[in-house]
């Protein structure tokens, strides 16, 4: 549905998974810019699509392995404002892949301007008790492989 | 700031249950005003506090009667904009109390200015299948009695 | 960036402009379904893309004609719940095109299931006083022409 | 429910400014808990009320000094989930008060359970260019004095 690509062209970033997001009124605040808390939403959309591109379906993960990913911590630096109608591109990559948690490094860009950077720690928990749990081996393998650039599923791209 | 009272002093309104809501950045958009969709949140906060003042605990309702209230339809007219830091007062009253649904008439005011009016239909459903269900008799009785002006619980004041 | 098409295949709908939206955690609530107020966001995203496909740029409209569109009223019926990871398709069409306002009829679908219908009245106002204003003639002409199916801009589609 | 007090009774916290927040459906997600990004909203509501209790009116600040506070960075650790209908109390204190920025340390509690901790850096900027600006001296003085426990304004009680 949305464009996904393995971009090397993003200025200042390494190879990563890029997810474009359009800014609507709902995302802005009375300062005329994107409300800072909403970058956490943008980052999550990009991580979700990253997981999907890795072949990890979070609903199936919950049903079959009783495991869900939850956010343990977030740290975001705001560099420049985004505005209504901007296309914000979120670049995501794994910084650390642990037994029961994953650290993502994420960046939000508008063309050549870095808008925000985020460090998001996501933990695997069993979905009943919400206690830490090992990431199921097939999921761990999929995360190690990374997004499959040839299987873009719903996605196409021409941005 | 918060609190509950049976106000007759609100211009243009009948007796109703009033719930004050402060406008923060999160509520506004790039137009500099409260984002229109957020009035549905304001109205829901006011209905929830109305129910609480009637002695209806929605969590207990779900646990004990396997019944939950869901929103069936919403209709909102926007009359005047609210801005950052405004105190919006939502006046709520029941317009129709059916066997399995309740129609609320709600108004949002800032001092003497009517900001928005809403008609919200809430239906009772069993919480597994989400099928329409009769409102449990004790809840129906509580809704008929209305908010208890003498038992203001948590809602009155600085705790 | 996202898929746009003039769909006739949507069950139960006339020809309209279809905009697909993925459901993320941010869109859901503790009932496990999409929070009803968020359909107003989905509908707005679809209207915005409809305007963009008509060649109407809301930022330019504000800058050049000092005119902005604001939402005057919303009415939404909720038919069936949407859940995490669903792809919701919003079909939009103009029901009435007035001198200073536009009535949109919108529907949210998941495959063959109608999730919600909305009637949204959008008014044109001058952006300083927020007073009703005639829709600028070139915009009116663009709205009459409708979305240009051959000029899909950022959008591509294969869903 | 609402109110402000200088609490020393909050377990594990120093003297700080406490702001209570009720959890509504809008705050939760399909995991059945408060959506993590919403703690940034809760923290901002508490900071805003902290500023108000210090006698700092952000609207007047913008109009008179052309200065606004913007969020520069956020770091949040999530410790335990909050659920529908919980009353979350946010304790806020200044960790560092600079010439052009303020670091807040904030905690969200439900009774004796620590839910989340946040470090939020807020910067003062001129409101046109959004460039860093010195905090106006009267505001700096007010922040140094801290919240006035005797002047609880709107925030104490049912109005």
Phi/psi of residue B42, nearest 5 degrees:
-60, -45
**Percent residues over pLDDT 90 in chain C:** 70
Closest-CA distance of chain B to residue A132, Å:
27
User: What pLDDT does B3 receive?
Assistant: 39
Q: Average pLDDT in the C29-46 region? A: 96
User: What pLDDT does D150 receive?
Assistant: 52
Say if A28 is an interface residue toward chain B (CB within 8 Å). Answer: yes
Given an 8 Å threshold on Cβ–Cβ distance, is A84 in contact with C1? no
What tokens does C124 get? Answer: 């044109």
User: In whole numbers, what is the pLDDT of chain B averaged over residues?
Assistant: 85
- Residues of chain D positioned with their CB less than 8 A from the CB of C31: 25
Evaluate whether D31 touches D84 at the Cβ level (below 8 Å): no
Q: Which CATH class is domain D5-147?
A: alpha beta
Residue B24 CA to residue D41 CA, distance in Å, equals: 9
Of all residues in chain A, the one with the smallest CA distance to D127 is A31
Please state which CATH number belongs to domain C5-145: 3.10.129.10
Please report where in the chains the tokens 């199916």 appear, as a residue: C149
User: What pLDDT does D105 receive?
Assistant: 97
Given an 8 Å threshold on Cβ–Cβ distance, is A156 in contact with C157? yes
What are the start-end ranges of the E strands in chain B?
A: 5-7, 16-22, 67-78, 87-97, 101-110, 113-126
Sequential pLDDT tens for chain A (159 residues): 343 343 434 443 346 799 999 999 999 999 899 999 999 999 999 999 999 999 988 878 888 888 889 999 999 999 999 999 999 999 999 999 999 999 999 999 999 999 999 999 999 999 888 899 999 999 999 999 998 765 444 443 433
Which residues of B carry out catalysis?
A: 29
Q: Mapping DSSP to helix (H, G, I), strand (E, B) and coil, where does residue D109 land?
A: strand
What tokens does C31 get? Answer: 């009932």
- Residues of chain C positioned with their CB less than 8 A from the CB of B63: none
Evaluate whether A89 touches A19 at the Cβ level (below 8 Å): yes
Phi/psi of residue A90, nearest 5 degrees:
-100, 120
Given an 8 Å threshold on Cβ–Cβ distance, is C76 in contact with B74? yes
Closest in A1, A59, A158 to C22, CB measured = A1
Evaluate whether C116 touches C107 at the Cβ level (below 8 Å): yes
Which residues of C carry out catalysis?
A: 29
**Percent residues over pLDDT 70 in chain D:** 84
Given an 8 Å threshold on Cβ–Cβ distance, is A1 in contact with C1? no
Alpha helices, DSSP H, located in chain D: 38-53, 58-65, 137-145
Between residues B150 and A67, the one the model is more confident about: A67
Say if C82 is an interface residue toward chain D (CB within 8 Å). Answer: no
Of all residues in chain A, the one with the smallest CA distance to B34 is A30
pLDDT of residue C8 exceeding 60: no
- Residues of chain A positioned with their CB less than 8 A from the CB of C3: 1, 156
Given an 8 Å threshold on Cβ–Cβ distance, is B30 in contact with A26? no
Say if A31 is an interface residue toward chain B (CB within 8 Å). Answer: yes
- A-C interface: how many C-beta pairs under 8 angstroms? 60
Strand D5-7: give its sheet, edge to edge.
A5-7, A16-22, A87-97, A101-110, A113-126, A67-78, D67-78, D113-126, D101-110, D87-97, D16-22, D5-7
User: What pLDDT does A9 receive?
Assistant: 41
Between residues D76 and B14, the one the model is more confident about: D76
Given an 8 Å threshold on Cβ–Cβ distance, is D58 in contact with B157? no
Residue A146 CA to residue B22 CA, distance in Å, equals: 45
pLDDT of residue B46 exceeding 50: yes
CA distances from B14 to B104, B155, C17, D35 (A): 13, 21, 43, 37
Q: How confident is the model at residue C151 (pLDDT cuts 50, 70, 90)?
A: very low
pLDDT of residue D2 exceeding 60: no
Q: Mapping DSSP to helix (H, G, I), strand (E, B) and coil, where does residue D23 land?
A: coil
Given an 8 Å threshold on Cβ–Cβ distance, is C37 in contact with B36? no
Between residues D153 and C26, the one the model is more confident about: C26
Positive or negative: CA dihedral C82, C88, C94, C98: positive
Say if A74 is an interface residue toward chain C (CB within 8 Å). Answer: no
Q: Average pLDDT in the B47-53 region? A: 94
Render pLDDT for D34-90 as a digit per residue (tens, 0 to 9): 999 999 999 999 999 999 999 988 878 888 888 889 999 999 999 999 999 999 999
Tell me the CB-side half-sphere exposure of residue A157, using CA atoms within 13 A: 18
Render pLDDT for D132-145 as a digit per residue (tens, 0 to 9): 999 999 999 999 99
Given an 8 Å threshold on Cβ–Cβ distance, is C48 in contact with A24? yes
pLDDT of residue C75 exceeding 60: yes
Based on the residue annotation, tell me whether D29 is a catalytic residue of this protein: yes
What tokens does D126 get? Answer: 């001129």
For B5-146, the fitting CATH number among 3.40.50.2000, 3.40.190.10, 3.40.50.2300, 3.10.129.10 is 3.10.129.10
Between residues D109 and A16, the one the model is more confident about: D109
Indicate the helix (H) or strand (E) that contains D70: strand D67-78
User: What pLDDT does D9 receive?
Assistant: 41
CB within 8 A of D128, min separation 6: which ones?
A: D66
Render pLDDT for C86-142 as a digit per residue (tens, 0 to 9): 999 999 999 999 999 999 999 999 999 999 999 999 999 998 888 999 999 999 999
Residue C100 CA to residue C97 CA, distance in Å, equals: 8
Say what the ipTM of the complex is: 0.85
Say if D37 is an interface residue toward chain C (CB within 8 Å). Answer: yes
Q: Which of C120, C22, C33 is nearest to B74 (CA)?
A: C120
- Residues of chain D positioned with their CB less than 8 A from the CB of B84: 58-59
User: What pLDDT does D15 receive?
Assistant: 63
- C-D interface: how many C-beta pairs under 8 angstroms? 31
């Amino acid at each position: 549905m949305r464009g996904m690509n393995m971009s090397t062209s993003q200025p200042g970033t390494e190879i990563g998974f890029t997810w474009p997001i359009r800014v609507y009124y709902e995302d802005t605040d009375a300062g005329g810019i994107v409300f800072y808390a909403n970058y956490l939403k943008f980052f999550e959309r990009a991580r979700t699509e990253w997981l999907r591109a890795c072949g990890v379906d979070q609903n199936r993960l919950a049903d079959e392995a009783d495991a869900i990913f939850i956010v343990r911590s977030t740290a975001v630096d705001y560099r420049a404002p985004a505005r209504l109608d901007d296309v914000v591109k979120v670049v995501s990559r794994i910084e650390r892949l642990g037994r029961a948690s994953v650290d993502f490094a994420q960046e939000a860009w508008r063309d050549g301007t870095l808008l925000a950077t985020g460090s998001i720690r996501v933990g695997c928990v069993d979905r009943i008790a919400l206690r830490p749990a090992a990431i199921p081996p097939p999921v761990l393998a999929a995360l190690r492989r990374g997004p499959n650039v040839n299987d873009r599923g719903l996605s196409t791209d021409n941005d």
